[in-house]
Structure 1
Amino acid sequence: MTDLSISVPENVTFEQGIEITELLLNTLEENSLLEAEITRVITELVKTHNGARGFFVTYLTDARSCFDQPIVSLIQALETSPEIVSDLLVKNVAMSATMVIYHHRHNNLEMQESSQRVVQRSSNLIQQLNFSLLRSRLQQLFNSVQTGAGSYQDFLERWKYDSEQLAAIVKILERLL
């Protein structure tokens, strides 16, 4: 392993977050990064909303199975930004669960499998991260789905989820809570 320096701009854009994460994942696959470097890059990405969005959209959707189980340095890095990480992971697990339904309805098996991968990877991260804010956000989303009110109601209404999609959100949240 070598210490390849991947730099993350202080005000990283969403697009830069994607590019940096693609580079990071490629070097991870080659096993050519030190654990400390992996942690540093991901920590720098997830300290901003744009960087975290770019990281998650790339990491969660990457087709390579070597990223299905998160490594310790990834978990350690995500733990440094509980507010941003909690918000994005809760929304990612919910949105991807609904997209599995959507793609199934439209007979798009490839996209259905991709959405299922995002559900699984998001779930794996949620299960390994141990901070109360994440659990609280999962519960808030669950409550909003169940009651039609609460802190996630605007999110649910914006995406116009139907009853089958809401049931998919409940199902995944029940496994995670």
Structure 2
Amino acid sequence: MTMLEPSFQQAMEIAAGWLKQWDDEEISDEVMADRVGELVASRDGARGFFVVSLAGDSALMDRLPEALIHKLQEAGEEVVDLTARNLAMSAAMTVHHRANGDEDQASGSERVNTRCTELLRQLESQRVKERLETLLEAAAHNRGEDVSFLERWGYNADQKAAIHAAIEAVAD
């Protein structure tokens, strides 16, 4: 299947359909991996896929089939970057939701965080290490190219501490 670069919204819809097919065992791990490989070739495609797969109910990102890992590794730096950002955002949002007494939302953010942690452990280790070091520099020391990313979301000290802990957990 060859496709034009989908918009973020289109990518979310495409990914949701594929995840349902995969969960219903209508498509194999290999077919799913090939489709995802094409989708994550563009930034919006990758963003859409990760929004749906990391936060949704599909077990794909819990199981992480070998064929999928291979395609995500091939996609390279973009996948590492988006996964690292999702790791940070989910860690920060867990703190936010707990502070507001919303345990259901906090649990959802924790699930995203766990999925990101496991995926980062499977991706190319040097890329992951470099990306997480950059993120850690911003979260722990307010320095580097990720400072604007953290400031854009207005994360407080507790949220930055959670991001720091999430980064450290990837190495555990």
TM-score, length-scaled by structure 2? 0.93
Secondary structure, in 3 states, of the residue corresponding to 1:80? helix
- Given that 1:138 and 1:173 are in contact with CA atoms closer than 8 Å, whether structure 2 keeps it comes out as yes
Q: Which moved more, 1:28-37 or 1:18-27?
A: 28-37
1:68-101 deviation per Cα after TM superposition (whole angstroms, max 9, x unaligned): 2311122111112112101101100000000001
Offset at 1:28?
0.9
Residue 11 of structure 2 is aligned to residue 17 of structure 1: yes
Task: Figure out how many residues of one structure are paired with residues of the other and give that number.
Answer: 171
Identical pairs, percent = 31
Offset at 1:64?
4.0
Structure 2 stretches lacking a partner, 5+ long: none
Residue in structure 2 matched with residue 98 of structure 1 by the alignment: 92
Q: Which moved more, 1:21-30 or 1:33-42?
A: 33-42
Residue in structure 2 matched with residue 4 of structure 1 by the alignment: none
In structure 2, C-alpha distance between the alignment counterparts of 1:66 and 1:137, rounded to whole Å: 24
Offset at 1:130?
2.3
- Given that 2:36 and 2:68 are in contact with CA atoms closer than 8 Å, whether structure 1 keeps it comes out as yes
Offset at 1:136?
0.5
Residue in structure 2 matched with residue 51 of structure 1 by the alignment: 45
TM-score, length-scaled by structure 1? 0.90
Sort the Cα spacing of 1:98 and 1:68 in 2 relative to 1 into closer, same or farther, 3 A. Answer: same
Offset at 1:134?
2.1
In structure 2, C-alpha distance between the alignment counterparts of 1:48 and 1:66, rounded to whole Å: 20
Q: Which moved more, 1:59-68 or 1:83-92?
A: 59-68
Sort the Cα spacing of 1:8 and 1:23 in 2 relative to 1 into closer, same or farther, 3 A. Answer: farther
1:125-155 deviation per Cα after TM superposition (whole angstroms, max 9, x unaligned): 0011124222210111111222211111111
In structure 2, C-alpha distance between the alignment counterparts of 1:12 and 1:21, rounded to whole Å: 11
